[in-house]
Amino acid sequence: MAESRLSVDVNDSAVRLAPLSIQEPEENIFLFYPNLIGYFRVILTLASLYYMPLHPRTCSLLYSTSCLLDAIDGMAARYFKQETKFGIMLDMVTDRCTTSCLLVFLASAFPRWSIMFQGLISLDLASHYIHMFATLTMGETGQSHKNVNKSKSWVLNLYYSNKVVLFTFCALNELFFIGLYLLSFSSPYLSPTLLQSPGNPASLSVGTPAAPERSMLFTSPWSAGAMEYARANKMDSTVPWILAVISFPVMVGKQIINVIQLVKASRWLATGDIEERRGRALKKAR
């Protein structure tokens, strides 16, 4: 009896000691590696905007680095298994804001074409917002906006599912706008107000009045006059022209994809509205 009682006591004590709760450490989504890369992209973008009016080389370097990191954060998310909804939104918002800020500058640098740049900003924002909203409301729970079925659109399916295609279109789209940005500092054909020769300030491009005094240009280092003087013959336009010409067809293709995305997402939402209205009509009929 003593032996059996002892064994019961031991078993009881074992039972009492068993239920020890093991708490898993709470993850901090905001400090995931891909999100840290996203924050760094934001910093680079802000720095590029600071240098954008007066320092085209520095701005282009910072802006291009931010764009290249857009591909690296996705690779980091998959490698470290740290894919999050916050990271997806951070990436998308950074992309939209970065491109929009550059297009705003181009609209001011080329006022004749400002309506075109304003239209590109509107198309980019509207297309991605409606597509994201349609995916959240009409798609399956947890479905990514990049999961587009071929039955809905083979173009969007290829664009989002093939990483090489996605990177090529995004990279060359940005490259075209960077090329235009550099041309605003170097090409008198696109910017006729550029000074032709820094050694001869009286020599101006076609359509420009008599050269203003330099003291008038620099009444404020951040004035429009200072920007015009900084843009004057800042660099050779050969490389920017090559970049712009090579990337132009892909940029046009990217805008066509934005239009397709906008139309398909709108139709998807309209289909959902029709089904919802039919459901409410059936309830009333019953």
69: tokens are 């990191």
49: tokens are 């905007």
What are the Cα distances from residue 243, in Å, to 95, 179, 192? Answer: 20, 6, 20
Per the CB < 8 A criterion, the answer to whether 83 and 33 are in contact is no
Per the CB < 8 A criterion, the answer to whether 208 and 172 are in contact is no
Catalytic hit among 95, 124, 236, 273: 95
Alpha helices in 81-162 (DSSP H): 85-109, 114-138, 154-161
273 is known as an active-site residue: no
CA atoms within 13 A on the CB side of 246: 13
* Angstrom distance (rounded) from CA 211 to CA 130: 49
What are the Cα distances from residue 192, in Å, to 165, 204, 210, 223? Answer: 37, 9, 14, 19
Task: Name the region of 61 (left: φ>0; alpha: ψ -120 to 50; beta: rest).
Answer: alpha
Cα 52 to chain centroid, rounded: 17
DSSP β-bridge partners for residue 195: 204
Residues designated catalytic: 95
